[in-house]
Chains A and B, each alone.
Chain A
Amino acid sequence: MLKLLGAFLLALGASGLGFGAAAQLRARVRALRSLTGALAQMERELSFRLTPTPQLFSQLAQQAQPPADLFFARCRDGLSELGDKTLSEVWREALAEESDLLLEPRTWQIMESLGSVLGRFDAEQQQQAIRGCVEELRLCLHQTEADSTRLGRVYSTLGMGAGALMVILLL
Chain B
Amino acid sequence: MDPEERFQSAAALLPVDLRRAVKALPDSLRGRTEEFRLRIGQPLMLSSYWGEQPLPGFTERKIAGRDLLDVLEIASQASAHTALEHFKNGFLTVPGGHRLGLCGSGVVKDGAVCNLRQLSSMALRIAREVPGVAAPVLPRLFEHGRLQNTLLLSPPGGGKTTLLRDLIRCISDGRGVPPLRVGVADERGELAAMEHGQPQMELGGRTDVMDGCPKAEAMLLLLRGMTPQVLAADEITAAADIGAFEQARGCGVALLATAHGRDLDDLSARPLYRRLQNQKLFQRLVLIRAERGIRHCQVLTAEGEEVPC
Contacts and interface: CB of A to CB of B under 8 A. Distances in A.
B77 A46 contact: no
Interface string B61-86: 00000000110111011111110110
Contacts of B221: none
A54 B115 CA distance: 22
Contact of B74 (A52, A54, A82): A82
Nearest to B87: A122
A53 interface: yes
A83 B74 contact: yes
Chain A's interface: helix, strand, loop or mixed, by majority? Answer: loop
A82 B77 contact: yes
B69 A79 contact: no
Interface residues of A, number: 19
A48 interface: no
Interface in A94-146: 118-123, 126
B73 A120 contact: yes
Contacts of A123: 81, 84-85
B1 interface: no
Nearest to B117: A122
Given A83-B12, A84-B16, A122-B115, A50 B73 contact: no
Contacts of B13: 83
Nearest to A126: B81
Interface in A56-83: 79, 82-83
Nearest to B81: A123
A54 B78 contact: yes
A51 interface: yes
Contacts of A22: none
Contacts of B69: 120
A122 B78 contact: no
Contact of B77 (A52, A86, A118, A126): A52
B77 A53 contact: yes
A7 interface: no
Given A50-B82, A53-B77, A86 B70 contact: yes
A119 B79 CA distance: 5
Interface in B57-114: 69-70, 72-74, 76-82, 84-85
A87 interface: yes
A54 B69 CA distance: 18
Question: Quick one: which of A50, A51, A54, A120 has the most chain B CB within 10 A?
Answer: A120
Nearest to B72: A120
A53 B77 CA distance: 7
Contacts of B79: 52-54, 119
B160 to A, nearest CB: 29
Contacts of A46: 81
Interface of A: 46, 50-54, 79, 82-84, 86-87, 118-123, 126
30 contacts: A46-B81, A50-B81, A50-B82, A50-B85, A51-B82, A52-B76, A52-B77, A53-B77, A53-B79, A54-B78, A82-B73, A82-B74, A83-B12, A83-B13, A83-B16, A83-B19, A84-B16, A86-B70, A87-B73, A87-B78, A118-B78, A119-B73, A119-B76, A119-B80, A120-B78, A120-B80, A121-B81, A122-B84, A123-B81, A123-B84
